[in-house]
Amino acid sequence: MSDISGIKQAIAAIGSQAALADALGVTQQNVSAWLRTGFVPVKHIRAVEQATGVHRSILIDPALIDLLSPADL
């Protein structure tokens, strides 16, 4: 597993925070907040995965992973 957070990988894959925000229909400030926390809010994970190819398992808050079955990831 990479030491780079999933949200950083997603931003790199799409080119910028602004480009990710545009692809998702959110503000760049939203993406910036996700970058500060290190993960994507659950309601945006699938969209980020589809837009960037970064797998949802590294976008989600690690504290939530224990709540999900492997089939959910």
- Which residues have C-beta within 8 Å of that of residue 33, sequence separation ≥ 6? none
Fold of 6-72: 434 Repressor (Amino-terminal Domain) (1.10.260)
CA separation for the pair 64, 41 (Å, rounded) = 11
> pTM of the entire structure?
0.83
Structure tokens at 12: 């790199």
Q: Which residue has the higher pLDDT, 20 or 70?
A: 20
- SS3 of residue 73 by DSSP: coil
Confidence of residue 6 (pLDDT cuts 50, 70, 90): very high
Q: What is the predicted pLDDT for the residue at 71?
A: 61
Residue 2 pLDDT exceeds 60 = no
Q: What is the predicted pLDDT for the residue at 24?
A: 97
Q: What would the pLDDT profile of 24-58 be if each residue is shown by its tens digit?
A: 999 999 999 999 999 999 999 999 999 999 999 99
CB 17 within 8 A of CB 37: no
CB 39 within 8 A of CB 62: yes
Domain boundaries, the chain: 6-72
